[in-house]
Amino acid sequence: MTRPNSFTVSAIRLHWIRIPLHEPFRISNGEVSTKDAILVELQAQGYDAPGSTSALTGWGEASPMAGGFYSAETPESTWDALRLQLVPGFLKQPELDPRRCSERFEEFPGEPFAKAGLEGAVWDLCSQLNSRPLWAELTGVEVREGQIAKPRDLASGAAIGLMPTVDLLLERVARFLDEGYRRIKIKIEPGHDVELVRAVRQRFGDIPLMVDANAAYRLEDRHVFDELDGFGLMMIEQPLAREALAEHADLQRHLRTPICLDESADTLDSIREIIRLGSARILNLKVQRMGGLWPARCAHDLVLSAGIPCWLGTMPELGIASAQGLHLATLPNFKFPTDVEASERWYVDDIITPPIEVSRDGFIELPDGLGMGYQADLEKVSRYRVRLEELRT
């Protein structure tokens, strides 16, 4: 298919979406019961021949958690950053090369979620304009017209929040293993750690298991990690504070279990420092936190060259950002199951079609098609929308 090369951006619509969770998600520093996301709908018009036009739409998603307990950015601050700064700046001089678009965002300080939302829409549009699937656009894999090329399927892991009782935790682990998920991650916090892991190991044996502390401990708590070190965990995610890189390096030197840094891996500079100090043996990369697919791609390349494997984490996001992250996770250094789960896992509904599905053996297969392969479901976008704003060129 040939696309006209004269596509021009006509408008951007921002849709603030709110979808309830099946149940509140609790981690060591907060709880959330609804999912907020700001969808970025980038509209472009093409002029094929005199009097004949066609339209293309790229979708992105800015997906901060409500309440800001995970990051300084909230849905409110992200909405304002998009509406008042990033989108007006973009529309003044639209840049449809997502790499250059991402570089241009560097003039704006902060706001990684807002940047990820707008940049995601540019990637989606750009891959459609180039008649390529997003994964090929992101990885640089050559896909010739008429050739059937498939990216690898992606292993999915289940993440379980802090549960009110150990029995409830075990019930959830059983359910997700039964659904085929390729590994189980459980959240821990001081006072609720070793006994949770022991209970899971006693009931389920040698399953692929990891823990996530969401930065809740201090180096003085190292006895907890010494104990956890005996359980054969895949990794211990973010045991100490975000900025405690030297302390993480100290802890890692004394543990066999790899430390995986998540909250600490928020910029390319901090990732360079993690590598330099030896603070982690695995990295959890999050597209939203890095400020988009291109910065996340650069982070992937950086840790690959340092011999550190990574995996794709989540906020978690709704379908559009999840799908785009999955396309990125086809890159070779994403070596562990992703936190992206089935659409139905967290939310009562999702705004893409088809929904993200996990096979009985725990894999996600990306759909065929140009761009991200999944479509925004416009009826659901309007059903769950709490705010709408349209900005035009």
Closest C-alpha to 115, from 126, 104, 131 = 104
The amino acid present at 349, given as its one-letter code, is D
Site string for Mg ion, 229-248 (x = CB under 5 A): --------x-----------
Residue 358 contacts residue 341 (beta carbons within 8 Å): yes
Q: Which stretch binds Mg ion (CB under 5 A): 31-39, 66-74, 176-184, 209-217?
A: 209-217
Rg (CA), the chain: 21
Q: Supply the minimum distance, in Å, between the C-beta of residue 238 and Mg ion.
A: 5
Q: Which stretch binds Mg ion (CB under 5 A): 3-11, 27-35, 174-182, 204-212?
A: 204-212
Query: Which CB, 36 or 212, lies closer to Mg ion?
Result: 212
Residue 278 contacts residue 249 (beta carbons within 8 Å): yes
Query: Which CB, 29 or 54, lies closer to Mg ion?
Result: 29
**Token pair in block for residue 44:** 């472009």
Which residue among 150, 286, 335, 380 is the active-site one?
Answer: 286
Which residue among 35, 115, 185, 187 is the active-site one?
Answer: 187
Residues 6 or more apart in contact with residue 71 via CB below 8 angstroms: 64, 65, 113, 289
What residues between 355 and 384 interact with Mg ion by CB under 5 A? Answer: none
How are beta strands 363-364 and 385-392 bridged, if at all? Answer: unpaired
Q: Supply the minimum distance, in Å, between the C-beta of residue 338 and Mg ion.
A: 12
- Total residues interacting with Mg ion, rule: CB under 5 A: 3
Residue 223 CB coordination number (10 Å): 9
Q: Which stretch binds Mg ion (CB under 5 A): 24-32, 45-53, 158-166, 208-216?
A: 208-216
Reply yes or no on whether 150 is catalytic.
no
Query: Which CB, 128 or 264, lies closer to Mg ion?
Result: 264
Residue 245 CB coordination number (10 Å): 20
Query: Which CB, 41 or 237, lies closer to Mg ion?
Result: 237
Query: Which CB, 193 or 262, lies closer to Mg ion?
Result: 262
**How far is 86 from 330, CA to CA, in rounded Å?**
29
**Token pair in block for residue 232:** 């054969």
Residue nearest to Mg ion (CB): 262
Q: Which stretch binds Mg ion (CB under 5 A): 22-30, 93-101, 194-202, 207-215?
A: 207-215
Site string for Mg ion, 248-277 (x = CB under 5 A): --------------x---------------
What residues between 85 and 114 interact with Mg ion by CB under 5 A? Answer: none
**Token pair in block for residue 138:** 């992101």
What residues between 334 and 353 interact with Mg ion by CB under 5 A? Answer: none
Reply yes or no on whether 35 is catalytic.
no
**How far is 95 from 44, CA to CA, in rounded Å?**
12
If one asks whether residue 317 binds Mg ion (CB under 5 A), the answer comes out as: no
**Token pair in block for residue 307:** 């011999």
Query: Which CB, 338 or 375, lies closer to Mg ion?
Result: 338
Q: What is the DSSP string of 20-50?
A: EEEEEEEETTEEEEEEEEEEEEEEEEEEEET
Closest C-alpha to 153, from 287, 327, 314, 345 = 327
**Token pair in block for residue 254:** 């004394």
Indicate which single residue of 61, 111, 212, 377 sits in contact with Mg ion (rule: CB under 5 A).
212
Residues designated catalytic: 187, 286
Instruction: List interacting residues with Mg ion (CB under 5 A).
Output: 212, 237, 262
